């Protein structure tokens, strides 16, 4: 049994059921849907207890599919809704239609930053989000996706989560420390995020002073150290904020999302390559009671569909991100830049200061120690074994890399 399956099974089989309550959640939502345990038991009673026990397993096949409600943190038109749909499609196909997911965009039930509370409270059955969006509960949330670089990328971070102790630390944070009634699994090692969109190119730290900038998680601390005033906003609010002058520069994540929500209409300089968020992944959340109520084969499908969709998301991202970056240049007159070495070095120095402050908290320090141990070993292998792709690219496509 691989470590992902073993760790996930351990999370599921040892969990306790939360006490039924209709008290208001931290998100202010008081709606409490019927639990899946009640649903499943009620379904059996409705078909007739005697008949069900007499007929046995085939009677279950005649039941209606179990429908889970999943909300994302993404606007309806964002490419990440497509990525979430890839997960939904795999779950439904792998379960033979026994398990279906009603996929909803941000705001359909709760706001983008409130999905963690909604899943924990049972208002949603599951969610598709990123850990930085519940950073306000504990700063360590940002260490699970938008933390220090340490010479690693999204693939190395995702491997740390499943093989380096990250999943156990995540469980300790969400369940033991914060008392959240959730399971969380990670998928899709994202490429490093662009520095972002600017009305004029910037190459020095001095030029950044006073910028009103959008980012999330611990990247806010990094950018503040570079002299910018930082606002945390969900993706759907970025362009309106730019139009109103609430911000004058921003990043979200990738060329496809940026193109779809109209970044090119409010800025024309797109600066790629940055250390502020270089190792993020999706966080797929499940209410613990809902997951525990399911048959083991359906729980396994929900878990392993996360692994499957990670590959599908990666392939889709490589196709769409590269195509849309080209469209931004050729169809919308966007000028591409790479973040200057001066700004990159300043980001690393800012991370050093952020880490020093974070380590005053014992849990933060243990997470960072675990990540450093992993990154030192795995990063060494990746860097020493990896080849200079820019050299090969320039050989076969000469002149293309000159910006």
Strand extents, DSSP E, 273-365: 282-287, 335-338
pLDDT at 62: 54
Tokens representing residue 187 in the block: 């998928």
The residues of the chain that CATH labels 3.40.190.170 are 3-15+24-191+280-318
pLDDT at 21: 34
User: 257 φ, ψ to 5°?
Assistant: -60, -45
Cα dist from 111 to 77, 160, 235, 237, 330, whole Å: 16, 30, 11, 11, 35
pLDDT at 219: 94
pLDDT at 235: 85
Question: What is the full per-residue pLDDT of the chain (403 aa) written as tens digits?
Answer: 443 344 444 433 333 333 333 333 333 333 444 445 444 444 433 333 333 333 343 334 557 899 999 999 999 999 999 999 999 999 999 999 999 999 999 999 999 999 999 999 999 999 999 999 999 999 999 999 899 999 999 999 999 999 999 999 999 999 999 999 999 999 999 999 999 999 999 999 999 999 999 999 999 999 999 999 999 998 889 999 999 999 999 999 999 999 999 999 999 999 999 999 999 999 999 999 999 999 999 999 999 999 999 999 999 999 999 999 999 999 999 999 999 999 999 999 999 999 999 999 999 999 999 999 999 999 999 999 999 999 999 999 999 987 6
CA torsion, ordered 310, 316, 318, 319, to nearest 10 deg: 170
| Contact (CB, 8 A) for 302 and 29 | no
| Contact (CB, 8 A) for 200 and 269 | yes
Sheet arrangement for strand 196-198: 229-231, 212-214, 249-250, 196-198, 269-272, 335-338
pLDDT at 364: 98
What is the helix (H) or strand (E) element at residue 120, kind and residue range?
A: helix 115-121
Name residues whose C-beta falls within 8 Å of residue 125's C-beta, 6 or more positions apart in sequence.
36, 68, 69, 70, 119, 286, 287, 290
Convert 15-71 into a string of H (helix), E (strand) and C (coil): CCCCCCCCCCCCCCCCCCCCCHHHHHHHHHHHCCHHHHHHHCCHHHHCCCCEEEEEE
225: DSSP letter: H
The residues of the chain that CATH labels 3.40.190.10 are 196-278+340-381
Which CATH code for domain 196-278+340-381?
3.40.190.10
Which CATH code for domain 3-15+24-191+280-318?
3.40.190.170
């Amino acid at each position: 049994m691989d470590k992902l399956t073993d760790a996930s099974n351990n999370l599921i089989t040892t969990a306790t059921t939360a006490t039924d309550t209709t008290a208001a959640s931290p998100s202010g939502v008081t709606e409490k849907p019927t639990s899946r345990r009640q649903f499943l038991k009620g379904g059996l009673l409705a078909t007739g207890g005697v008949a069900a026990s007499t007929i046995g397993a085939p009677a279950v096949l005649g039941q209606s599919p179990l429908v889970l409600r999943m909300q994302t943190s993404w606007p309806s038109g964002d490419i990440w809704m497509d990525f979430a749909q890839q997960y939904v499609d795999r779950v439904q196909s792998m379960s033979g239609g026994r398990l279906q997911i009603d996929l909803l965009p941000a705001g359909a039930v709760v706001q983008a930053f409130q999905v963690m509370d909604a899943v924990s409270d049972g208002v949603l059955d599951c969610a598709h989000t990123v850990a930085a969006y519940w950073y306000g509960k504990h700063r360590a949330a940002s260490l699970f996706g938008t933390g220090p670089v340490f010479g690693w990328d999204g693939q190395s971070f995702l491997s740390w989560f499943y093989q380096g102790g990250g999943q156990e630390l995540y469980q300790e944070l969400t369940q033991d420390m914060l008392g959240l009634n959730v399971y969380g699994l990670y998928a899709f090692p994202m490429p490093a995020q662009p520095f972002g969109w600017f009305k004029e190119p910037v190459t020095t730290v001095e030029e950044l002073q006073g910028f009103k900038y959008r980012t999330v998680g611990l990247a806010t601390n990094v950018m503040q150290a570079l002299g910018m005033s930082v606002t945390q906003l969900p993706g759907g609010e970025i362009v309106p904020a730019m139009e109103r002058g609430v911000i004058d520069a921003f990043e979200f994540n990738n060329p496809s999302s940026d193109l779809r929500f109209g970044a090119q209409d409010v800025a024309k300089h797109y600066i790629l390559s940055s250390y502020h968020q270089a190792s993020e992944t999706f966080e797929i959340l499940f209410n613990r009671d809902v997951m525990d109520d399911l048959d083991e084969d359906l729980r396994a499908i929900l878990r392993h569909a996360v692994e499957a969709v990670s590959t599908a998301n990666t392939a889709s991202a490589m196709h769409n991100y590269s195509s849309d970056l080209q469209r931004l240049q050729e169809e919308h007159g966007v000028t591409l830049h790479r973040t200057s070495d001066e700004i990159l070095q300043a980001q690393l120095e800012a991370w050093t200061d952020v880490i020093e402050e974070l380590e005053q908290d014992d849990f933060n320090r243990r997470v960072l120690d675990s990540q450093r141990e992993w990154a030192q070993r795995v990063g060494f292998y990746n860097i020493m074994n990896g080849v200079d792709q820019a050299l090969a690219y320039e050989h076969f496509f000469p002149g293309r890399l000159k910006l």
